[in-house]
Amino acid sequence: MPPPIPLSRGSRATVRVVGAAAALGAPGAGPAAAPDALLAAGLPERLNIRGILAEADAVLRPPAPPALDAPMAERLAAAGAYARRLADHLAALPADSLPLVLGGDHSVAVGTWRGIARRLQARGALGLIWIDAHLDSHTDASTHSGNIHGMPLAALLGEGAEALSGVPGPRLDPAHVCVVGARAWEDEELERLTRLGVHVFTMHEVRRRGLDTVFRDALAIARNGTAGFGVSLDLDAVDPAAMPAVLCPEPDGLDAQALADALHLLRGCGDVAALEIVEYLPERDPRGGCAAWVAAFAEAALGPGTHALREKEHRFGAHNYAPLPVVFQRGEGVWLWDVEGRRYLDMMGAYSAAAFGHSHPRLVRALTEQAGRLALTSRAFSNDRLPLLLERLCVMFGYRRALPVNTGLEAVETALKAARKWAYQVKGVPTDAAEIIACHGNFHGRSIAIVGLSSVAQYRHGFGPFPPGLKLVPYGDPQALEEAITPSTAAFLVEPVQAEGGIIVPPSGYLSRCAEICRRHNVLLIADEVQTGLGRTGRLLGCDHDGVRPDGLILGKALGGGLLPVSAFLADNAVMDVFQPGDHGSTFGGNPLGAAVALEVLDLLFETRIWEHAERLGAHLRERLAARRPPCVREIRGRGLLIGIELHPDGPSAALAAELLLARGLATRDTHRSVLRLSPPLIIDQDTAEWAVDTICDVLAALPQRH
Ligand SMILES: Cc1ncc(COP(=O)(O)O)c(C=O)c1O
């Protein structure tokens, strides 16, 4: 056994989780329990699973707190003494560690940021982003409530009682400090911050400009001219609908997910000095939902960046893909977010699988509800979802039987096995003589049998020998099909549009001619609609463009709602009844989880008739592309929202165009070097799609043109 490989640190320091278990500034003791509750909920372990090297450091507990009605001086002295201890502790942590401080009430921040400023002192100033519903900028002279947790920002800026403001360490420079999300303050606080020159991004401004934009401005304030910066997150900044477990909830706060997205921007910042999360109240979080958000915020901010993750993928993964240089962490609708919080328009749609976009709420609900009930039984038993899916598939697509599998290639294999057995049992082809005909330029998957059908040298090279009885004919040429058919031909396997082959659209009427030829020769016409089916080409099925009903129909990709692999082969009894128990199967095929999602997909599909939108928008986009057509473009083609932009072979490569588009926030890929592929989620709206087309034309027009 080789020795275990230690997990790599990446470029990030080890995160030291420090508990500041004090509520000396709060009107109640609740927040003091927060660090223990978050540690018990497994926060460091969760961070470790997400690629962050995190270690629980210490939980600093204060001595018995003074009574709530004790004189202010006594309470300030206690809070100040605790802040000193915390500052000393943080200042002494190893230089290559990154502190994550879990409060406590917000008064602990005086200790956190004085300690962190000391760590940075030799190199320069500390910048600070204070995310909070409140301004926390009272002093003991101005406070209305008498609560010290309303004072830490003023103290860090050097104002107020010496007990707090005098905690050893550099004062914050107001020019490098800003507040984000404020929506509840008293005049004295705003006057103080305004006088000092601290920038306040109110909730009103966040709503108007978007948190992402505001947060980028906040980063500029905290980073420009500083040696490092920190983020102090008071959880009451978040809307109480998602974060009720705080001491002082204020309505209309930050959207929790938008905050997590913004915090991802920190992953791109090598100068993060510390993160602090305060004012969590475990007693109001019986189901742990708020603790999960705390972990999500920490993970968003401290997780590995693009470079570290790509390095791991390259180091530990087989090199059978060469992904573009982006690492996505979240998807919603037509948008994807990378680990540094950048947003991209998804013009790939996961090779047409994400037809309803990412995380469609109805599909996610179907998935999670079913996952909580029953996900897998194997087909040694029946489950209560699969029969409903089988019936729905047969009724909707007009076949007598369906056979469920997982990936598209399994469905293609299933179809080929059915066709061969049908040839022997029904057609009377001599044993082991059955032939399958497919088309040049096809893509049906990557198993040995299926790449045996491929005409692409790279897909085949080194993987032979292949099964016998596989033949190819030119795509779009019915005459060639007829000439290739022999008495032993079992099936003709064809894609209504060759997607991976370069978005090749056959001449109109091609499939109906093929169907007629197959009928005459008693050959099965099997349509691989893994990519073209379920609305992609502007009709329910790609075959519908030619009014053809194939003898066998292969569905996949979009059937799983972009959530998990669900595919199926559909045919009538004469074909499907060749299968007897034990002939064919798969452990996961027909599982109730996939069936529940696919049922919801089909419901959504017929409810929205999304193919009509795909037809209209696809035609509009092709027209718009044609009207602007940059000189390097040779041809624009496609059906519905499956569009190919072919570039001149002696001009710039489509791969280069895809990289440049990525830098403009548009994610797509080339196929076969010269074709740029557009297959966005079918739910994309017209304005967004037009933006995509205009961006593509701008990028293509700016490429060096050689032809
Ligand atoms: C037409 C077609 N058939 C089959 C497949 C294989 O599907 P999977 O990758 O799910 O195995 C693909 C995948 O791109 C495809 O486009």
Domain count of the chain? 3
- Buried/exposed code over 451-476 (b: 16+ C-beta within 10 A; e: otherwise): bbbbbeeebeeeeeeeeebbebbebb
- How much distance in Å is there from the Cα of 359 to the middle of ligand 1? 22
Q: Confirm whether 5 is domain-assigned.
A: no
Q: Quick check: CB of 530 below 6 Å from ligand 1?
A: yes
| 346 and 384 both lie in a single domain | no
Pocket test for ligand 1, best of 528, 530, 541, 559 (most atoms within 8 A of CB): 530
Average pLDDT over residues 61-90: 96
Distance, CA of 151 to CA of 142 (rounded, Å): 9
Strand partners, 637: 644
Q: Confirm whether 381 is domain-assigned.
A: yes
| 628 and 580 both lie in a single domain | no
Of 571, 591, 608, the position where a domain reaches its end is 608
Q: Quick check: CB of 646 below 6 Å from ligand 1?
A: no
Of 539, 574, 608, the position where a domain reaches its end is 608
502 closest CA partner among 690, 679, 682, 325:
679
Q: Quick check: CB of 531 below 6 Å from ligand 1?
A: yes
Distance, CA of 529 to CA of 553 (rounded, Å): 7
Residue nearest to atom 7 of ligand 1 (CA): 408
pLDDT at 706: 60
DSSP, collapsed to helix, strand or coil, labels residue 356 as: coil
pLDDT band at 498 (very low <50, low <70, confident <90, very high): very high
Q: Confirm whether 3 is domain-assigned.
A: no
Q: Which amino acid is at 485?
A: I
Distance, CA of 498 to CA of 675 (rounded, Å): 12
452 closest CA partner among 461, 476, 585:
461
Distances (CA, A) of 595 to 297, 371, 383, 658: 34, 11, 10, 35
Query: How many Cβ atoms are within 10 Å of 488's Cβ, its own excluded?
Result: 16
Q: Confirm whether 78 is domain-assigned.
A: yes
| 581 and 614 both lie in a single domain | no
- How much distance in Å is there from the Cα of 377 to the middle of ligand 1? 26
| 187 and 328 both lie in a single domain | no
Distance, CA of 181 to CA of 297 (rounded, Å): 15
**Omega within 30 of 0 (cis) for the link into 2:** no
| 284 and 372 both lie in a single domain | no
Q: Quick check: CB of 502 below 6 Å from ligand 1?
A: no
pLDDT at 9: 42
Specify the residue for token string 């230690």. Answer: 6
Which ligand 1 atom sits nearest the alpha carbon of residue 557?
10
Strand 228-234 to strand 126-131: parallel, antiparallel, or no bridges (unpaired)?
parallel
The CATH code of the domain that includes 350 is: 3.90.1150.10
Specify the residue for token string 């697509």. Answer: 397
- How much distance in Å is there from the Cα of 444 to the middle of ligand 1? 5
Task: Choose, from 285, 557, 579, 670, the residue flagged as catalytic.
Answer: 557
Q: Which residues contact residue 198 at a Cβ distance below 8 angstroms, ignoring those fewer than 6 apart? A: 137, 153, 157, 174, 177, 178, 179
| 249 and 146 both lie in a single domain | yes
The reply to whether 312 belongs to the active site is no
Check: pTM over 0.75? Answer yes or no: yes
Q: Confirm whether 6 is domain-assigned.
A: no
Q: Are 270 and 54 in contact (CB under 8 A)?
A: no
Structure tokens at 394: 């047969």
Q: Is the pLDDT of residue 360 over 90?
A: yes
Distance, CA of 66 to CA of 63 (rounded, Å): 9
**Omega within 30 of 0 (cis) for the link into 464:** no
Q: Confirm whether 369 is domain-assigned.
A: yes
Average pLDDT over residues 669-684: 95
Which ligand 1 atom sits nearest the alpha carbon of residue 409?
11
The CATH code of the domain that includes 372 is: 3.40.640.10
| 352 and 295 both lie in a single domain | no
DSSP, collapsed to helix, strand or coil, labels residue 282 as: helix
Q: Is the pLDDT of residue 8 over 70?
A: no
Residue nearest to atom 2 of ligand 1 (CA): 444
Q: Are 579 and 413 in contact (CB under 8 A)?
A: no
Structure tokens at 388: 């409903």
563 closest CA partner among 593, 535, 518, 543:
593
From the centroid of its chain, how far is CA 642? 22
Structure tokens at 197: 């020159």
Of 608, 642, 661, the position where a domain reaches its end is 608
Structure tokens at 126: 């500390």
Q: Confirm whether 2 is domain-assigned.
A: no
Specify the residue for token string 């008498």. Answer: 146
| 530 and 602 both lie in a single domain | yes
pLDDT digits (tens, 9 = 90+) for 154-179: 999 999 999 999 999 999 999 999 99
Q: Is the pLDDT of residue 3 over 60?
A: no
- How much distance in Å is there from the Cα of 393 to the middle of ligand 1? 19
Query: How many Cβ atoms are within 10 Å of 204's Cβ, its own excluded?
Result: 11
Q: Quick check: CB of 405 below 6 Å from ligand 1?
A: no
Strand 567-571 to strand 633-639: parallel, antiparallel, or no bridges (unpaired)?
unpaired
| 550 and 634 both lie in a single domain | no
CB burial of residue 424 (10 Å; 0-12, 13-18, 19+): middle
Q: Domain of residue 424: give its range.
A: 361-608
Q: Quick check: CB of 496 below 6 Å from ligand 1?
A: no
| 94 and 196 both lie in a single domain | yes
The reply to whether 471 belongs to the active site is no
Pocket test for ligand 1, best of 320, 348, 409 (most atoms within 8 A of CB): 409
Q: Which residues contact residue 49 at a Cβ distance below 8 angstroms, ignoring those fewer than 6 apart? A: none
Average pLDDT over residues 45-70: 94
Pocket test for ligand 1, best of 413, 443, 451 (most atoms within 8 A of CB): 443
Specify the residue for token string 């990557």. Answer: 446
- How much distance in Å is there from the Cα of 648 to the middle of ligand 1? 27
Q: What is the overall mean pLDDT for the chain?
A: 96
Longest dimension (CA), the chain: 101
Q: Confirm whether 669 is domain-assigned.
A: yes
Query: How many Cβ atoms are within 10 Å of 359's Cβ, its own excluded?
Result: 16
The end-to-end CA distance of the chain, in Å, is: 56
pLDDT at 7: 43
Average pLDDT over residues 117-127: 97
| 698 and 664 both lie in a single domain | yes
Task: Choose, from 201, 443, 492, 588, the residue flagged as catalytic.
Answer: 443
Q: State the DSSP code for 107.
A: G
Residue nearest to atom 16 of ligand 1 (CA): 531
| 346 and 410 both lie in a single domain | no
